[in-house]
Amino acid sequence: MLLRRAASFFDPEIIWQQLETQCSLDIADGLAEHYVVSYAGTSLYLGIVRATGERTFWLKATGSQPAISVDLPEAVWVKQIIYPDHTLLTAVLTEPEAEAPFSELVRNVLADLEQAPAGSCVTTLLISRLQQWQPATPLRLAA
């Protein structure tokens, strides 16, 4: 079932809290994940890294996307994996004190996805949003 949620009503904090509770009951490594929604060929997921408790979100975009080659805020680690038919863009929060702004970042990304026409460059959308997210944070080159 595909749920379409307006970004203004979407609260990633609730999903992350549920995943954190789930992780506290599990002993397995890996990722606790939750599918959120798809727009214009891009799916949004939220997750918790079980080993560290770090919050994460990722976008799975159909088609090819350009490689990331810019500086990003230090509070977020970003990884891009390009497959022949889709691209995964993963953002992991590395500074727990930034949880509230990270939730707002996810809401903003979702709002951007809602408004993006089909075929939009999801990599550009995410990088643009990340660069706006914490302009005062020291920057580092994404790995």
**CATH classification of the domain holding 36:** 3.30.200
Q: Which amino acid is at 43?
A: S
**Which positions ≥6 away from 97 have C-beta within 8 Å?**
none
* Structural domain boundaries enclosing 114: 28-141
Query: Per residue of the chain (143 residues), what is the pLDDT tens digit?
Result: 334 444 556 789 999 899 888 877 666 678 888 999 888 788 999 999 888 889 999 999 888 777 777 777 778 888 888 888 888 889 999 888 888 888 888 998 888 888 887 777 888 888 888 888 763 444 344 44
**Which positions ≥6 away from 33 have C-beta within 8 Å?**
19, 45, 46, 47
2 found inside a domain? no
Q: Which amino acid is at 67?
A: A
Question: What pLDDT does 28 receive?
Answer: 67
Distance CA 40, CA 16 (A): 24
Locate tokens 């680690």: which residue?
Answer: 77
- Token output for 21: 């509770």
Question: What pLDDT does 137 receive?
Answer: 46
72 found inside a domain? yes
- Token output for 9: 């009503």
Name the domain count of the chain. 1
* pTM exceeds 0.85 for this model: no
1 found inside a domain? no
**CA-to-CA separations, 119 to 26, 66, 79, 100, 126, in angstroms, rounded:** 38, 13, 21, 30, 14
9 found inside a domain? no
Which of 36, 69, 72, 64 shows the shortest CA–CA distance to 122? 64
76 found inside a domain? yes
110 found inside a domain? yes
117 found inside a domain? yes
97 found inside a domain? yes
Q: Which amino acid is at 30?
A: G
Length of the chain: 143
CB atoms within 10 A of CB 120: 17
Question: What pLDDT does 69 receive?
Answer: 73
